[in-house]
Amino acid sequence: MADSVAAGVGEEKETENEDKEREKRSSNNTNKTETSGVPSEGTETLGFYERNANKQDKGRNLSDLSLVRFISAELTRGYFLEHNEAKYTERRERVYTCLRIPKELEKLMTFGFFLCLDAFLYVFTLLPLRVLLALIRLLTLPCCGLGGSRILQPAQVCDVLKGFIMVLCYSMMHYVDYSMMYHMIRGQSVIKLYIIYNMLEVADRLFSSFGQDILDALYWTATEPKEKKRAHIGVIPHFLMAVLYVFLHAILIMVQATTLNVAFNSHNKSLLTIMMSNNFVEIKGSVFKKFEKNNLFQMSNSDIKERFTNYVLLLIVCLRNMEQFSWNPDHLWVLFPDVVMVIASEMAVDVVKHAFITKFNDITADVYSEYRASLAFDLVSSRQKNAYTDYSDSVSRRMGFIPLPLALLLIRVVTSSVKIQGSLSYVCVLLFYLGMITLKVLNSIVLLGKSCLYVKEANMEEKLFQTPPSAAPSRATSRTSSRAHRAKYTSSPPGDPTDEEVCTSEITTQPVHQDECPAPHLPSSKSDQFLTTPDDTEEKDIGQEGMELKHRAPKKDLLEIDRFTICGNRID
């Protein structure tokens, strides 16, 4: 009994000793972990020891880094461009578009230049002959009799008005002294001349924008059918307004040409350099703006007109300088570097401007072929039997190029610079006139052939046989006309010709005058007056028509764009 009690007491002492040893070991382990920063495996940690371990790993990683390893990593680091293939493909296409812009732009500029040249030569060659034929018809009218027709056709009336405007303005231009104007401008400082030249450019664009409206108002007032109610102030006030406009615009262009002539004749060429740098300021004003295809088309037309006008101004400057040096051909080579500098700066500015505009607005280079087709459509449509305007007027509306003031100034400069004396001089003038007629005819034939080709490539042949655009109908009439259009095509049998086909056949068979197409007769009822919403079928038809108009919108918008521009932007 005593032995068992003693044995139990000894076991309890051993267990107590073991517990004490365990506590000592655990305390020693905790002390070691606190000093070393490594947590023990048997103890629970609430994130403190893990953070210490992460700090230790970072310390080891930082200790492993070195300058040599960083340089080797930078030298051997790689990446894969195919991971963003779409982005780099788009950038490459933008580069290719910028490389294609000069070629496509110069194609458009060349075609537009010859269009302006055709309209410009028309004033010198065919317009005098057409005016002469109209006057012969007017003088021989008492002998031939009316015969129930008009005295003069509308086109002949417009030609006679143009001839009278040119004659009156030319007689008024004789009172303007070019030499006095030259010396007045030459006496001004360089800064004043620079400001004057910029003001003249802005005024020229404003005159071109409003001048064709004055001429169109005169033509329509003189040829408007007499059956309609009079809603105008009369032909004579419109004629006086047109004469005043052409005269003032010609004076404006003369001041512009004189300023350019002063820049050419300055000794240090500082004014010419400032004027050429003004072209690069145009890049700043246009490149960083948002442009759509229609706005770019207007800017392209404005650039075509500006380039052709500059060529004519350079021709006037050369004529005046050659006259002052008694037509010495050696002086022409003195002017040649300056002329090349003006032309080269103009072309460079146009290329850079269009390249960056197409880049910033994601416009492809193929858009210039559409612009060229639109200009070609104007030329082809003016040759149709149902044409409603002359081609020179169409170019004026599209590009803002009005040939009458520029032609008037050129005639004034040529007649004052070239002295005609003797019969041989008149023979030379006659031969020169015949040469201009030959150039006009050849240019018209080539342009017409190219225009037909461009129209076919753009699939615009069907628009040549459409009726001329009339006044914009109201919302109600457009809805009724769309209903009538659908009712016509659903009710007419396939064998019977529709009203549109009859109108088209009448247009192609009547070259002189045609009546408007009669509106289709619709049976009306009282119930139609209370219909405010279309039914389901009409909604589907309207939706389909809307989708078709959306797809045809770019071409239609290009054909409807005219010269209502200020610095290349449309006035909305």
Along the chain (572 residues), what's the average pLDDT of each consecutive run of 10 residues? 50 64 63 47 49 62 73 85 84 86 93 93 92 88 62 86 93 89 86 84 87 88 74 85 94 92 80 75 79 89 92 92 86 88 89 89 90 89 74 76 92 88 88 94 92 89 64 43 44 42 37 43 38 41 47 49 44 38
**Is position 542 within any domain?**
no
User: 359 is in which domain, residue-wise?
Assistant: 99-143+151-462
Give the Cβ contact number of residue 125 at 10 Å. Answer: 19
> What does the pLDDT read at residue 84?
83
Q: How many residues does the chain have?
A: 572
**Is position 387 within any domain?**
yes
> What does the pLDDT read at residue 201?
87
Q: What is the DSSP letter of 527?
A: G
**What is the DSSP secondary-structure string of 156-178?**
HHHHHHHHHHHHHHHHHHTTS-H
**Is position 26 within any domain?**
no
> What does the pLDDT read at residue 172?
93
Instruction: List b or e across 440-458, with b for residues whose CB sees 16 or more CB atoms inside 10 angstroms.
Output: beeebeebbeebbebbeeb
**Is position 124 within any domain?**
yes
**Is position 468 within any domain?**
no
**What is the DSSP secondary-structure string of 452-470?**
HHHHHHTT-GGGGGSPPP-
Helix (H) or strand (E) holding 565: strand 565-566
Nearest-angstrom CA–CA distance, 486 and 534: 13
- Give the chain's domain count: 1
**Is position 333 within any domain?**
yes
Nearest-angstrom CA–CA distance, 354 and 287: 8
> What does the pLDDT read at residue 61?
61
**Is position 43 within any domain?**
no
**Is position 28 within any domain?**
no
